[in-house]
Chains A and B, each alone.
Chain A
Amino acid sequence: MTEKPKVGVYVCHCGINIAATVDVEAVTEYAKGLPNVVIARNYAYMCSDPGQLLIKEDIKEKGLNRVVVASCSPRMHEPTFRKALQEAGLNPYFLEMANIREQCSWVHEDREAATEKAKQLVAAAVSKARLLEPLTSREVDAEPSALVIGAGIAGIQAALDIADAGFKVYLVEKSPSVGGRMAQLDKTFPTLDCSACILTPKMVDAANHPNIELFTYSEVEEVSGYIGNFEVKVRKKARYVDVSKCTGCGACAKECRLAGRIPNEFDEGLGKRGAIYLPFPQAVPAKYTIDPEKCLFLTRGKCGKGPKCVEACPAGAIDFEQEDEIVSFRVGAILVATGFDVFDPTKKPEYGYADYPNVITGLEMERLVSASGPTGGNIVIHNGEEEIVPKDIAFIQCVGSRDKSVGNEYCSRVCCMYTAKQAHLVKDKIPDARVRVYYMDVRAFGKGFEEFYDRVRREGIRYVRGNPSEIFRRGNKLVIKVEDTLTATPLEDEVDLVVLAVGLEPRRDARKIIELLRLSQSPDRFFLEAHPKLRPVDTATDGVYLAGCCQGPKDIPDTVAQAKGAAASALIPLARGKVAIDAQVAEVNEATCRGCGFCVSICPYSAIELVTVNRMGHMVEVARVNEALCKGCGSCSAGCLSDSIQPRSFRDRQILPQIAALGGTR
């Protein structure tokens, strides 16, 4: 740009957000005296239509070629003002923002000092604005398909929405059946409709939808590329059963030598299965799977005189020769719906979960009350001596939630209500049972929650405010030691069954997904959304969206709502068919790059690779940026010893004068 810079400075009052602490008139006057500043104005709301009009008219009338807006964070309104510049015929990257709100007026009280600081911030922005260069963003084509990782209710719902909109969906589930956690639940709060009854139609829809390709018992192995153009590799684990032949008759499972001897994951270990199994009766697909870690033939090479399942199968579907298969495909968007694990209550040894068979988790209780569960819905437990129908039952809330000592400060949001629901179900099945709930606070915030909580209390379930300190055994009873904190009375409660309302935690293997998709975690270790309020389903990686409990604990309606939201977001690039590539990305000076690859390792978005170039007849490696992947974060630049990689608009020669102006030296 040889044209002399003509800078316009626009100071925003932001109502009184800025103007109450910063003397905007003084800042405007000061800006007029800065080098290359042609005009400086202030206005109540620069982002409003009349505010933007001021800028646009000045660009046209005064021939401005650089614009400085002193207002809020660029995260807030940079796109707004860039658009204004573009509409006035100026390159949108000739904008520089001075953040005099978040970084000045909101954090200071002394008006005089804040005004001085605002002046410096404006001077720094003007310094940099003079050195800005024109940039051009471009567009690339987007693949009209999506990958959904996890086929619980979130993944199923999102996949159905995207598929219904007419786009191809690859739905990948790591367990042998779709359904996820919701399939394990008995009734759902607060309406008490049967979880399986409302879920199974969706499971079947997902499996039969012409636009959905379902991969169960499969894991995403590799993801590369960028929004609109992801390359995905999925490992289809060997089931050792030919799914095209298996009819799901179950003859094999009856004959398996290990039948009824392996704890069933779906029943949280309460029920037993064989080495060849269907996780639950409504499983989709209704195809059997051989557990390679348990099957005698696969682990020892020998199963009696020969595997009985092979003899039993009328379709000849069992195939011990089967191997894992890698499937590759391209997608334009990726939706992560990997769900949650429940808190491991052995981390709270005072509750004796590891010691007493009649201390169980909330999820185990779901299986125990479920008609499809191991006891057919009868609440029967073993108290260490005999099988009994418990008459004295206690629920303990907030196990592994709101508890710094186990590293979970957050509320899991579902335990209050699932406890109320389970207490109700217990009362329903064992009408003479005495049921107590030990709680810290009851959080009945959702639609119909408070009403349900009231109803449960009217059914004779007693809520005792107190956090039990210890559970131990006395005779064939369990004793809960607790202080009723409302009456300050120490209590000992003798019960037959304790249900721990375990909280929700990120999946134990979440790191795999984090590394695969370069996701971040919030302090609670759930996946981090791009913005807590305004971009709750997006991630820092463009084209990757979050749905359900992988982003934070939530109940089924919230999960479904988020899944639908994430599906709508994922549909944007698919429906447009194109994605815009930001121009403010890193650029390599190939003449000075020494090809050490530090930037390649540092880049959190895998946006840099080493390529071989011819430098004066020598083939040397240099870094190259994939502009579609780069977010312009500048980490590469910080790690580069020869200063050979820098983000456009944030080059040393642009930032150093900005810093110098802050110091008042230039």
Chain B
Amino acid sequence: MDLNKLRETAAGIVSREDVKYLIGWRRGTFGYRVSPYFIEDAAGVEELIFSPLCISNLATYLTLVERLPVPRGQQPDERKVALLVKGCDSRAVNQLLVEKGINRDRVIVVGLPCPGMVDWKLLAEKYPETEAPVEMRWQGDDFLLVHNGQEIVVPRAEALAEKCRLCRHPNPVISDATVGEPVQPWEPAEDSGVGEIEAKSAPERWAYWEEQFSKCLRCYSCRNVCPLCYCEDCILDRLNPTWVNRAFNFSENTAFHLARAFHLAGRCIECGECERVCPAGIPLGRLNRKLAKTVREEYGFEPGLDAEGEPFQASYRPEDPEEFIL
């Protein structure tokens, strides 16, 4: 990754009159952490980075932005927002466009072909977090870690994030500008990482999810980080009717997670953010990937590949299967 080229491109974009800011990443304050970074002028691009640690999906900030009431006589700020996207992130942008969650004229997509991201939790045991931020780069197929001043080559298999192992679209599927050469997609596991659970019997699966959902704190981080959970008034927050009670116990937690999973069926673009931010370590990605797999295999549909396409829930073909629908 040629960071200079990226910074040059970013500087060109943020200098434009019609651009509000560019959303990218910069080094975090310690260890493996990387922060989202909102750049409003060209001077800011010096801190911009793109490394194997930039796993977070910035597309969520497109809809997360608060729309404050505009005082009478004033106009809302309608300048464009520029966004750095990896392959998975770009699918979120497409899906938002399909759902009219964002306006194509008001977003500039900068595509970054992605060789795969690191799950730092896999590294932390061997190479503990340090007070100073660590640096990581891609080196051939592997990763190069600069840890306590030492350059360490970390084999790809050792640190590659699960969602990246299962990735089918490492290159951005929508972009106004691309920085870097397209990467060669790799063969993802066919079972989307859900085979292990599918192999269990129904009571075993129930026991598995009972254990997982019982851990849930109902902090709603998974919902809040999701680029596609952006209803201003979420049904889970409503009291009349109360779809999900506020108590956190297995029953209510299950209702919450299943409602979330079903709301994302045919919409989830498998960026893995829900699982990444979960403080309780619930494998939420498996839940979403199971539904994504069903949608892909039964309906031949993958969300987020075509910005002009029809939404999955709101379209049909006469030959759609229905034998597994009760």
Chain A interface (Cβ within 8 Å of chain B)? Answer: 591-592, 594-602, 610, 615-619, 621, 639, 641-643, 652-653, 656
Known: A596-B311, A598-B311. A618 touches B232 (CB 8 A): no
A597 contacts which chain B residues (CB < 8 A)? 99-100, 311, 314
* Contact of A591 with B233 in the complex, beta carbons under 8 Å: yes
Could you list some 7 contacts between A and B, CB below 8 A?
A: A592-B231, A592-B233, A596-B311, A597-B314, A616-B69, A617-B75, A642-B234
In the complex, how many angstroms separate the beta carbon of A514 from the nearest chain B beta carbon?
10
* Contact of B231 with A656 in the complex, beta carbons under 8 Å: no
- Nearest chain A residue, comparing its CB with the CB of B262: A641
* Contact of B100 with A595 in the complex, beta carbons under 8 Å: yes
- CB contact between A598 and one of B230, B232, B238, B313 (< 8 Å): that residue: B313
The answer, yes or no, to whether B67 is at the interface (CB within 8 Å) is yes
B314 contacts which chain A residues (CB < 8 A)? 597-602, 639
The answer, yes or no, to whether B310 is at the interface (CB within 8 Å) is yes
Known: A616-B69, A618-B67, A653-B240. A594 touches B230 (CB 8 A): yes
A596 contacts which chain B residues (CB < 8 A)? 99-101, 311
Most chain A CB within 10 A, of B71, B235, B240, is at B235
- CB contact between B238 and one of A616, A639, A643 (< 8 Å): that residue: A643
- CB contact between A652 and one of B241, B310, B311, B313 (< 8 Å): that residue: B241
**Cα separation A652 to B311 with both chains bound (whole Å):** 24
Interface residues on B, range: 20 to 34
- CB contact between B232 and one of A594, A617, A656 (< 8 Å): that residue: A594
The answer, yes or no, to whether B300 is at the interface (CB within 8 Å) is no
- Nearest chain A residue, comparing its CB with the CB of B74: A617
B232 contacts which chain A residues (CB < 8 A)? 592, 594, 642
**Cα separation A596 to B230 with both chains bound (whole Å):** 11
A602 contacts which chain B residues (CB < 8 A)? 313-314
Residues of B201-258 contacting chain A, CB below 8 A: 230-235, 238, 240-241
* Contact of B76 with A617 in the complex, beta carbons under 8 Å: yes
* Contact of B70 with A643 in the complex, beta carbons under 8 Å: no
**Cα separation A600 to B68 with both chains bound (whole Å):** 28
Chain B interface (Cβ within 8 Å of chain A)? Answer: 67-72, 74-76, 99-101, 230-235, 238, 240-241, 263, 310-311, 313-315
In the complex, how many angstroms separate the beta carbon of B322 from the nearest chain A beta carbon?
15
* Contact of B231 with A641 in the complex, beta carbons under 8 Å: yes
B310 contacts which chain A residues (CB < 8 A)? 601
**Cα separation A641 to B230 with both chains bound (whole Å):** 10
- Nearest chain B residue, comparing its CB with the CB of A614: B70
* Contact of B74 with A639 in the complex, beta carbons under 8 Å: no
**Cα separation A597 to B75 with both chains bound (whole Å):** 25
Given A592-B233, A596-B99, A616-B69, 9 further pairs, Cβ under 8 A: A592-B231, A592-B232, A598-B99, A598-B313, A599-B314, A610-B100, A616-B70, A617-B70, A617-B76
**Cα separation A595 to B238 with both chains bound (whole Å):** 19
- Nearest chain B residue, comparing its CB with the CB of A589: B233
* Contact of A618 with B70 in the complex, beta carbons under 8 Å: yes
**Cα separation A387 to B160 with both chains bound (whole Å):** 80
B263 contacts which chain A residues (CB < 8 A)? 641
**Cα separation A616 to B235 with both chains bound (whole Å):** 21
Q: Which are the 4 A-B pairs with shortest beta-carbon distances?
A: A617-B70, A601-B314, A616-B69, A642-B231
In the complex, how many angstroms separate the beta carbon of A622 from the nearest chain B beta carbon?
11
* Contact of A653 with B241 in the complex, beta carbons under 8 Å: yes
* Contact of A594 with B71 in the complex, beta carbons under 8 Å: no
* Contact of A642 with B233 in the complex, beta carbons under 8 Å: yes
B313 contacts which chain A residues (CB < 8 A)? 598, 602, 639
In the complex, how many angstroms separate the beta carbon of A611 from the nearest chain B beta carbon?
13
B70 contacts which chain A residues (CB < 8 A)? 616-618
**Cα separation A596 to B71 with both chains bound (whole Å):** 26
* Contact of A617 with B231 in the complex, beta carbons under 8 Å: no
**Cα separation A618 to B75 with both chains bound (whole Å):** 8
A591 contacts which chain B residues (CB < 8 A)? 233
- Nearest chain A residue, comparing its CB with the CB of B240: A653
* Contact of B100 with A621 in the complex, beta carbons under 8 Å: yes
* Contact of A617 with B100 in the complex, beta carbons under 8 Å: no
A601 contacts which chain B residues (CB < 8 A)? 310-311, 314-315
B76 contacts which chain A residues (CB < 8 A)? 617-619
- Nearest chain B residue, comparing its CB with the CB of A592: B233
**Cα separation A645 to B185 with both chains bound (whole Å):** 41
**Cα separation A641 to B262 with both chains bound (whole Å):** 10
**Cα separation A643 to B235 with both chains bound (whole Å):** 7
A594 contacts which chain B residues (CB < 8 A)? 99, 101, 230-232
**Cα separation A617 to B76 with both chains bound (whole Å):** 7
- Nearest chain B residue, comparing its CB with the CB of A616: B69
- Nearest chain A residue, comparing its CB with the CB of B238: A643
- Nearest chain B residue, comparing its CB with the CB of A657: B241
A598 contacts which chain B residues (CB < 8 A)? 99, 311, 313-314
- Nearest chain A residue, comparing its CB with the CB of B242: A656
B71 contacts which chain A residues (CB < 8 A)? 617
* Contact of A642 with B235 in the complex, beta carbons under 8 Å: yes
**Cα separation A633 to B72 with both chains bound (whole Å):** 40
* Contact of A617 with B238 in the complex, beta carbons under 8 Å: no
B68 contacts which chain A residues (CB < 8 A)? 616
* Contact of A616 with B67 in the complex, beta carbons under 8 Å: yes
A600 contacts which chain B residues (CB < 8 A)? 314
In the complex, how many angstroms separate the beta carbon of A132 from the nearest chain B beta carbon?
16
A621 contacts which chain B residues (CB < 8 A)? 100
**Cα separation A615 to B232 with both chains bound (whole Å):** 12
B234 contacts which chain A residues (CB < 8 A)? 642
- Nearest chain A residue, comparing its CB with the CB of B267: A641
**Cα separation A615 to B231 with both chains bound (whole Å):** 15
- Nearest chain B residue, comparing its CB with the CB of A511: B318
In the complex, how many angstroms separate the beta carbon of A520 from the nearest chain B beta carbon?
12
In the complex, how many angstroms separate the beta carbon of A512 from the nearest chain B beta carbon?
14
**Cα separation A598 to B311 with both chains bound (whole Å):** 7
A599 contacts which chain B residues (CB < 8 A)? 314
**Cα separation A643 to B233 with both chains bound (whole Å):** 9
**Cα separation A615 to B70 with both chains bound (whole Å):** 9
In the complex, how many angstroms separate the beta carbon of B180 from the nearest chain A beta carbon?
32
**Cα separation A597 to B101 with both chains bound (whole Å):** 10
In the complex, how many angstroms separate the beta carbon of B308 from the nearest chain A beta carbon?
13
**Cα separation A601 to B313 with both chains bound (whole Å):** 9
**Cα separation A275 to B325 with both chains bound (whole Å):** 53
**Cα separation A618 to B76 with both chains bound (whole Å):** 6
In the complex, how many angstroms separate the beta carbon of B326 from the nearest chain A beta carbon?
15
Known: A617-B76, A618-B76. A656 touches B241 (CB 8 A): yes
**Cα separation A596 to B72 with both chains bound (whole Å):** 27
- Nearest chain B residue, comparing its CB with the CB of A603: B314
**Cα separation A555 to B141 with both chains bound (whole Å):** 74
**Cα separation A598 to B265 with both chains bound (whole Å):** 14
**Cα separation A656 to B241 with both chains bound (whole Å):** 8
